[in-house]
Structure 1
Amino acid sequence: MSTRPLGGSAVSLSPLGFGAATLGNLFREVTDEDARAAVDAAWDAGIRYFDTAPHYGLGLSERRLGAALGGRPRDSYTLSTKVGRLLEPVAGEGGTGRSDEGFAVPATYRRVWDFSADGVRRSLEASLERLGLDRIDIAYLHDPDECGDGGEQALREAYPALERLRAEGVIGAIGAGMNQVAPLVRYVRETDADVLLCAGRYSLLDQRAAAELLPEAVKRGRSVVVGGVFNSGLLADPQPGATYDYKAAPVDLLGRALRIKAVAERHGVPLRAAALAYPALHPAVASVLVGLRSAAEAVDAAAMAAVDVPEELWDELRAEGLLGEESQ
């Protein structure tokens, strides 16, 4: 699998990336064996970009990913993690329950928002310890828009701290990752971030990133990593009960997904392949992240990413009003 340069940095990414929130037991438990097998299968398929965060399973994702990658040449893959949530131990009975925020792990730690400069360094040091690796290639500010002050401290303190670490050569590239487009556009316009991670907002069902974020990234020489291309499940398998943005999919969106699926199948393309191929068409997009929790899912994702999707499929989707003209 080829690699693509990231903005103006020396960091490069494989066009298909491994989103490791799943290794933190997102929604349901994954065994250590299945987590390791997923990473091994992804590696065998040519995937060389791996993304994690302290938030994912209260550090479990970082520990599992670091263990799986630890024996491989460090220069042969790209690793990103995130800052903004510190993990603090929970003492006594408080640590015997289950974690919130969708991860099936014991609540032995609590997440504490911290976008201070000191918090950035403490977060990265803790991540390196959990990963058991010598460096992190990309550091993202994680969901600063969800912090109590609307992300102002992240821009004022955390981002400059990342710039200093990049200048010192501690990190190869820096950026921000969010589920909303407007704050990401602000980072493109007001900072020297190398990369923006946009989750769920550039897919076959949601092209909000196409209006400003992607054109601004191209204009300013920045890169975008797109996550959530299946919109949490609806574009992987549209059927009653499927989820969209981690909630039950509305009836109208389910119907839209089924129409897109029908068009794709008329061109001999599985819906999953079309969902992976679509965001990768934009010149701003350096990599598409997919959450993988098993070897079978990794093999399937690589196979879907290799499908040749004809231009006529996109033309038909636009003609039927299923893709906006701004998404071209």
Structure 2
Amino acid sequence: MHWTSRALGATGLSITPLMVGGAPLGSMPSNFGYDVSVEDGVATAVAALTGPIRGIDTSCAYSRGESERRIGLAIAEVGGLPDDYLLATKVTRDLDSGDFSGEQMRRAITGSLRRLGVDKVPLLYLHDPENTTFAAATAPGGPVEVLRELKDTGVAQAIGVAGGDTATITEYVETGHFDVLLTHNRWTLVNRTADRLIDSATERGMGVVNAAVFGGGILATGTNATSRYGYREAPEELLGVIRRVEALCQEARVPLSTAAVQFSARDPRIASTVVGVSRPSRIAESVASVELDIPPGFFDEVDGIVAGLPAGLGPQ
């Protein structure tokens, strides 16, 4: 793959094949199984801002804003957000009260900008709208209207919708109000649930970003290290499929994590793939994963393995 930037849909933004995922660098042990110190998180964000990957993805919800705060410290350390860099964050519900109103979105973006140390962001997502109803989110003065207003006033150059449940996110894509789709855990080596959703977004000219290609970790570390997919215990049939993919990787001498990244990065519909990192060395490792040559026919064999997986075993 050529390591060049490409257009993010019709947003006017450019993005490299990978984005750095900011969730782990903020320290989310309940999701990822390990802690990340402030020093390591900021150092990782500095490496992200100064390396070949020209985009970072975070959220006001990641470690209750700590991910944004550490990225903000890194932005200050490098002298400001680079002109060619795509900073993406997300606004969502109040994690204590569950409030998912338009006013909550205003409070959330105010906090995000303060923590990041910027007055605007290239890309702003509505995060996890599964936590409200579509009717409430699209009502006058609701979250969707507020995000459109933030775009109109220049606080965000582009707006997107980011979430998991594909049926819910499809409703938002079909409104035509959003520029970018971010899907997670649903377009991976072993889960193809988001296929139609990605097609729908692409047909509308939206940019598509794919996240959590490691399924929360198992497609990076393997089944010997964890039995969880998508932050929950995986059914035995899904684990069996992952073990078969692991065996194929071993036979082809392809690291499982490399296969997981390239499965997404090779898809022409996907502008960028988000790879979570928690230490500076992972930046170069992630780039190497995209550039490694994989034997012809490898992904066809993966497809054959996954085709036997009953529907509904992974997150939908």
Provide the TM-score with structure 1 as the length reference.
0.84
Q: Judging changes above 3 Å, is the alpha-carbon distance between structure 1 residues 323 and 133 closer, same or farther for their aligned structure 2 residues?
A: farther
1:34-73 counterparts in 2 under 5 A? 34-70=40-76, 71-73=79-81
Structure 1 residue 128 corresponds to structure 2 residue 84: no
Contact map agreement 2:124 2:156 (CA 8 A) in 1: yes
Give the match's secondary structure for 1:190: coil
CA contact (8 A) 1:15 1:286 kept: yes
1:168 matched to 2:153: yes
Spell out the pairing of 1:1-328 with structure 2 (5 A cutoff): 1-27=3-29, 28-70=34-76, 71-86=79-94, 111-147=96-132, 150-156=133-139, 157-210=142-195, 212-240=196-224, 242=226, 243-322=228-307
Q: Distance in 2 between matches of 1:154 and 1:76?
A: 32
Q: 2:189, 2:302 within 8 Å by CA — same for their partners in 1?
A: no
1:280/1:248 CA distance change after superposition, 3 Å: same
Do 2:126 and 2:161's aligned partners in 1 also have CA atoms closer than 8 Å?
yes
C-alpha offsets along residues 232-268 of structure 1, whole Å, 9 cap, x if unaligned?
1111122245121112333322221121122233333
Q: Aligned residue pairs: how many?
A: 298
Letter paired with 1:76? D
Cα distance in structure 1, aligned partners of 2:122 and 2:192: 28
Cα distance, 1:121 vs structure 2 = 2.2
Report the CA distance shift for 1:226/1:279 in structure 2 as closer, same or farther (over 3 A). same
Unaligned runs of 5+ in 2: 310-316
Partner AA of 1:26 in structure 2: M
Tell me how far apart the structure 1 counterparts of residues 121 and 100 of structure 2 sit (CA, whole Å): 18
Q: Is the 8 A contact 2:187 2:193 kept in 1?
A: yes
Aligned-pair CA distance for 1:83:
1.3
Partner letter of residue 83 of structure 1?
V
1:323/1:192 CA distance change after superposition, 3 Å: farther
Encode CA deviations 1:203-249: one digit per residue, 9 max, x unaligned. Answer: 01100011x21111221111221111010111112224512111233
CA deviation digits over 1:127-180, x for unaligned, max 9?
Answer: 111111232111111111123xx3432222211221122122221111111111
**TM-score normalised to structure 2 length:** 0.87
Percent identity over the alignment?
36
Q: Which amino acid aligns with 2:18?
A: L
Q: Please say which of residues 299-308 and 138-147 is displaced more in the overlay.
A: 299-308
Distance 1:252 1:231, change over 3 A: same
> Which deviates more from structure 2 when the two are superposed, residues 271-280 or residues 310-319?
310-319
Letter in structure 2 aligned against 1:75: D
Q: Distance in 2 between matches of 1:261 and 1:45?
A: 30
CA change 1:132–1:44 in 2 (3 A) is: closer
